[in-house]
Amino acid sequence: MEKFLGVLFCGGRGERLGEITNFISKSFIPVYDKPVFRFGLELLENSKKIEEIIILTNEDNDTKLRQLGHRTIVQSDSRVNDMFSGWDFVKKYLRTKSHGVLVPSDNICEVKIDNLIKTFEKKNSEFLFSIKDIGSKEKLSQMGCFDIETGKFHYKNPDPPSKYGVIAPYIIENSPVNISGRNMFESADKEVVFHKGYWFDIGDNDSLIEASIWRQKIIKGF
């Protein structure tokens, strides 16, 4: 039976949020009533297929995040610059043979991780990711997008060739092969899932406001 390790990424700096992140980590930014990292952590905690949750963090956040009851690992900033290098860092640190379920701490999305894992296993994939019709060219130019016609991945392209943005969680095979974003998104053994639910990327102030209003409506019931 395959084993899966959940990894929550809480080491980012959040430069697009401006002055806010001079005083508070991006992972701790409140979305109405709770810090944004909680949404990603809850996705992992709700999974019945994930054996262990690891929080990859930095020295500033480690003390607070250790209080959550999950194991934390302080990343080496010289070795970790994205989720793929972060996963490589974690699996070498732990010497794990489990596959990875990679979740950013600054995203909020409607997804059931166990459904993604089932698809990953059924298709015998080496990498699974989701795409969503973002509806904003400006937003797409700030993130990764995937062209379903050519099978090509583009990152922060000022003129996005596709309307589909790439979103996590990612499910990734534990492989000794060196990985990077481009060769995983364009892998012959990838599986692409269309995401139709809600999704927020708390990477800029407008997205933060939008997500907070969404959360307020849920809490207040309107």
Per-residue pLDDT tens digits for 69-85? 999 999 998 899 899 99
For 112-129, the pLDDT digits (tens) are 999 999 999 999 999 999
Q: Is residue 140 part of a domain?
A: no
Q: Is residue 24 part of a domain?
A: yes
Q: Cα separation of 164 and 129, whole Å?
A: 12
pLDDT at 104 over 80: yes
Q: Is residue 150 part of a domain?
A: no
Q: Which domain holds residue 112?
A: 4-133+167-220
pLDDT at 155 over 90: yes
Q: Is residue 76 part of a domain?
A: yes
Residue 80 main-chain phi, psi, to 5 deg: -115, 115
CATH number at residue 205: 3.90.550.10
Q: Is residue 185 part of a domain?
A: yes
Average pLDDT, the chain: 92
Q: Is residue 40 part of a domain?
A: yes
Angle at 158 between CA 156 and CA 160, to 5 degrees: 80
pLDDT at 149 over 90: yes
Q: With bands split at pLDDT 50, 70 and 90, how would you rate the model's confidence at 199?
A: very high
Q: Cα separation of 195 and 111, whole Å?
A: 8
Instruction: Report the percentage of the chain scoring pLDDT > 70.
Output: 95
Q: Is residue 153 part of a domain?
A: no
Instruction: Report the percentage of the chain scoring pLDDT > 90.
Output: 80
Q: With bands split at pLDDT 50, 70 and 90, how would you rate the model's confidence at 221?
A: confident
Q: With bands split at pLDDT 50, 70 and 90, how would you rate the model's confidence at 204?
A: confident
Q: Cα separation of 19 and 13, whole Å?
A: 11
Q: Is the CB of residue 166 less than 8 Å from the CB of residue 144?
A: yes
User: How many domains are there within the chain?
Assistant: 1
Q: In Å, what is the CA distance from 13 to each residue of 27, 33, 70, 145, 169?
A: 8, 21, 21, 22, 19
Determine the pLDDT at residue 178: 57
pLDDT at 1 over 80: no
- The radius of gyration of the chain's CA atoms, rounded to the nearest angstrom, is 17
